Amino acid sequence: MKIVLQHLFYPTVVLASMLLAFAFIQMLPESYFIIVPLLLLTPLLVLFVFLERYMPYDKKWNLNRGDFKTDLLQTFITLPTAIHLGQFLLTLLLIVPNTWMSKTFHNEFLESNYGFIWAFIIVLILSEFCYYWMHRLSHTVPKLWKLHAIHHSSKRVYWANSGRFHFFDALLSSTAYFIPVLLLNVSDELIVMLLVFSGITGFLEHVNIKFKAGYLNYVFNTAELHRWHHSQLEAESNHNYGKALIVWDLLFGTFLWPKERKVEQVGVQGEKDTQGFKNQFLKPFK
Ligand SMILES: [Zn+2]
């Protein structure tokens, strides 16, 4: 029973959530769109907490290490505040290119030309590209690493540390993610779908649930891959930078999936070898 659940878990959760989100935005008036991510994420979090107990990847990671309260505050207060502030600041910053784009291309031109699903995929891939490089820079530039190290400081990987970020780290990465969204003048429906998708896959990157995503690990950055990004060993942690997708890691040579072993220790140990990280950052250009 557990084996079947382990294989079905990831595709079922992602597909069912996206279909439900799409149904909600068809049924609800636009002023209610803001609650769609909440409607889906709340029951999912209950499911994740249950499954972390029922089929954990590492039982020790279910023990509170004094980090739970901080993780909750950062996940539910710091991260959403940073995302909203980031969107607001980005709107101001991009006012000139955005006006030019609006005059040159009509609003929602991607959706009207390619259809909703292709528009969603295009925006997602572009947002993931911006996020990938912002994340990779955060592991390379010492000042950015100081902020980002908060996310890596946890000694376990579980559902609540998916939102464990320094405020300015969250502000920078979420701002990077929304650059294509704002420039391309997509619809509110597409923005809600993107928020739901990145929210759910963000939790699924961190959940302490033993699941098998199989070939989906070559498309999505699942917990099977992202745990290696939290490894204490830098040779392992400087991989798998994507948010929801892993395609840019595959393209830029930072994909890591050692199938035959488990992640040993997670967290940050000692000083980071920034030279090593610089070399890693430049790897695709050497
Ligand atoms: Zn990182």
Q: Output the pLDDT for position 282.
A: 45
In this predicted structure, the answer to whether residue 269 has a pLDDT above a threshold of 80 is no
Nearest to 123 by CA among 60, 205, 75, 180: 180
Q: Output the pLDDT for position 281.
A: 43
Ligand 1: distance of its center to the CA of 137 in Å?
A: 9
pLDDT digits (tens, 9 = 90+) for 159-173: 998 889 999 999 999
Q: What CA–CA distance (Å, rounded) separates 262 from 233? A: 13
Q: Output the pLDDT for position 120.
A: 94
Ligand 1: distance of its center to the CA of 241 in Å?
A: 6
Q: Output the pLDDT for position 279.
A: 46
Ligand 1: distance of its center to the CA of 91 in Å?
A: 26
Ligand 1: distance of its center to the CA of 174 in Å?
A: 14
pLDDT digits (tens, 9 = 90+) for 62-87: 998 888 888 888 888 988 899 889 88
Q: What CA–CA distance (Å, rounded) separates 250 from 258? A: 14
Q: CB under 8 Å to 164, separation ≥6 — which residues?
A: 67, 70, 71, 74, 75, 150, 151, 153, 154
Ligand 1: distance of its center to the CA of 186 in Å?
A: 28
pLDDT digits (tens, 9 = 90+) for 16-62: 999 999 999 999 988 888 889 888 999 999 999 999 999 999 999 99
Compute the radius of gyration of the chain from its Cα atoms.
19
Distance spanning both ends of the chain, measured CA to CA: 48
Q: What angle do helix axes 2-27 and 36-54 make, rounded to 10 degrees?
A: 170
Q: What CA–CA distance (Å, rounded) separates 155 from 158? A: 10
**242, 249 Cβ separation under 8 angstroms:** yes
CA distances from 51 to 101, 119, 214 (A): 45, 33, 19
Ligand 1: distance of its center to the CA of 230 in Å?
A: 7
**167, 78 Cβ separation under 8 angstroms:** yes
* pTM score: 0.86
Q: Output the pLDDT for position 185.
A: 84
Ligand 1: distance of its center to the CA of 171 in Å?
A: 14
Q: Output the pLDDT for position 272.
A: 54
pLDDT level of residue 114 (50, 70, 90 thresholds): confident
Ligand 1: distance of its center to the CA of 281 in Å?
A: 13
Q: What percent of the chain has pLDDT over 70?
A: 93
Ligand 1: distance of its center to the CA of 180 in Å?
A: 21
Ligand 1: distance of its center to the CA of 139 in Å?
A: 6
The position carrying tokens 């970020």 is: 165
The position carrying tokens 């699942």 is: 222
Ligand 1: distance of its center to the CA of 144 in Å?
A: 11
pLDDT level of residue 280 (50, 70, 90 thresholds): very low
Q: What CA–CA distance (Å, rounded) separates 54 from 46? A: 12
